[in-house]
Amino acid sequence: MRVLENVPLAPYTTFGIGGPARWFVEAHHEDEVVEAVRFAREHATPLFVLGGGSNLLVSDEGFPGLILHILLKGIEQNGRNFSVAAGEEWDAFVTTAVSQNYAGVECLAGIPGSVGGTPVQNVGAYGQEVSSTIRCVRAFDCEQNRFVALGRDDCHFGYRRSIFNTQARGRYIVTRVEYDLIPDGYPTVSYKDLKQYFEDWTTMPSLGQVSAAVREIRHRKGMLLVAGEPDAKSAGSFFKNPIITPDHFEQIVVQTGGANVPGYPTEGGQIKIPAAWLLEQTGFHKGHVHGRAGISSRHSLALINRNGASAGEIIALRDRIVAAVEQKFGIRLEPEPVWVG
Ligand code: EPU
């Protein structure tokens, strides 16, 4: 294991923001994960696991501990079971599954980042979440100092949530994820945008056609991060969609003069309301400029690094948005990206 020092983190993030890591190691094998944990312990320093860097905001001061960059590779297929190493690129795995006509992840095409991050925040989009297909997660348990296998139920998945980012945050380092996919299964066409896309079709689209449609829709919304394109430096959705009570939702309907308030029924009779809509209602529209930070011109939920923004500038914009939405609607937005620093 080669330990590097003072490594700038900005190039490892899709935001392109962040100061240096005090220490930085790459793990190509599980042994290196164990060594990194030992190193962090011996130096009494915090350890942060870096995957694809697509859902992170790194502080301008950087990270005072050890960054462990997960680069484990390999996909092992056993029938409908795909065991994928954490460092594999998520979107490449989706392409592999779809090209072999396995259903279950076709709507999750075009999402940046690596496989290891998918169970952590229960990645979801366009009508699918990885919690529906994950069979098991292999991880190093830093408390018990050994590798463990967690079944789907052990992961306690919810909207953008799992034990890995809630009660057991920092305890496990994901090294492999097993997905149980459906051979020759039907594609999921349940999300509004996808239904609209295929509304004139007289035949059922194939898995490949659905994943291509998702990519196209994501591209249109600036959620397909294409290097060099405008607004490409972001972490996707910057806020989670808040979940509120039906009474609170009614109050917002009245407050906005009965406008067509978007809302989707969710767990426990609550309503999920798009954060993007709340931003627009408080004056934070697509293309909003805040110094070198701003909002994507294609989707109001993506905060962007327009041109050399600092983490501080993104945070300043975040705070203005959170305060405005809270003041107008009594909803406290929660950021989606993980803060490092
Ligand atoms: N909307 C606006 N302005 C916009 C965009 C959207 O007002 O610029 C409103 C509209 O009412 C629209 C609604 O928000 O109908 C929902 O928009 P969209 O379908 O784009 O979805 P989203 O709720 O903004 C979520 C996920 C995305 C995921 C899409 C599709 C979260 C925080 N975000 O976005 O995930 O791709 O649904 O399933 O749940 C991500 O997590 O980084 C991400 C991109």
Q: 211-220 pLDDT, tens per residue?
A: 999 999 999 9
Question: Is 208 contained in some domain?
Answer: no
CATH code at 143? 3.30.465.10
> What's residue 226's pLDDT?
86
> 103, 122, 113, 294: which is closest to 206 by C-alpha?
103
What pLDDT shows up at residue 220? Answer: 94
Q: What is the CATH number of the domain that holds 306?
A: 3.90.78.10
pLDDT greater than 90 at residue 199:
yes
Rounded average pLDDT over 109-116: 97
Q: What is the pLDDT of the chain when averaged over all its residues?
A: 97
- Residue at a domain's end among 70, 93, 110: 70
In terms of Cα–Cα distance, which of 41, 175, 164, 42 is closest to 115? 175
Look up 160 and say whether it is catalytic.
yes
Place of tokens 């950087």: 62
Last residue of a domain, one of 144, 166, 183: 183
Largest CA distance in the chain: 63
The model's pLDDT over 218-266, given as tens digits with 9 standing for 90+, comes to 999 988 888 888 888 999 999 999 999 999 999 999 999 877 999 999 9
Domain boundary among 13, 38, 70: 70
Work out whether strand 20-27 and strand 63-70 pair parallel, antiparallel, or are unpaired: parallel
Report the pLDDT averaged over residues 326-337.
Answer: 98
**Per-residue confidence (pLDDT) for residue 321, from 0 to 100:** 98
User: Among 54, 131, 237, 300, which one carries the catalytic annotation?
Assistant: 237
Could you report the per-residue pLDDT of 260-288, keeping only the tens digit for each? 999 999 988 999 999 999 999 999 999 99
Does any ligand 1 atom lie closer than 6 A to the CB of residue 231? no
Q: Does 194 reside within a domain?
A: no
Residue 306 lies in a domain: yes
Q: Are residues 260 and 320 in the same domain?
A: yes
Q: How far is the CA of 302 from the centre of ligand 1 (A)?
A: 9
Range of the domain at 138: 75-183
Note whether residue 60 is domain-resident.
Answer: yes
The CATH number of whichever domain residue 50 belongs to comes to: 3.30.43.10
pLDDT value for 267: 81
Give CA–CA dist 229/310, Å, rounded.
Answer: 20
> Same domain, yes or no, for 65 and 79?
no
Q: Is residue 20 part of a domain?
A: yes
Dihedral angle, C-alpha 175, 181, 187, 188, nearest 10 °:
-60
pLDDT of 203 reads 95
Sign of the alpha-carbon torsion through 249, 263, 108, 136: positive
Overall average pLDDT of the 98-115 stretch:
98
Give the pLDDT score at 182: 98
Has 237 been annotated as catalytic? yes
Q: What is the mean pLDDT of residues 48-53?
A: 97
pLDDT attached to residue 228? 84
301 lines ligand 1 (CB under 6 A): yes
Establish whether 83 is a catalytic residue: no
Q: Give the rounded percent of residues in the chain with a pLDDT score beyond 70.
A: 100
Q: Is the pLDDT of residue 94 over 90?
A: yes
Number of domains in the chain: 3
Q: 241 in ligand 1 pocket by Cβ < 6 Å? A: yes
**How many whole angstroms from 110 Cα to the centroid of ligand 1?**
15
Verify that 252 and 291 share a domain, yes or no.
yes
Question: Ligand 1 centroid to 300 CA: how many Å?
Answer: 9
Quote the pLDDT of residue 241: 98
Please indicate, yes or no, if residue 173 is contained in any of the structural domains.
yes
Whether 335 and 267 map to the same domain: the answer is yes
Q: Which of 189, 194, 237 to mutate to test the pocket of ligand 1 (most atoms within 8 A of CB)?
A: 237
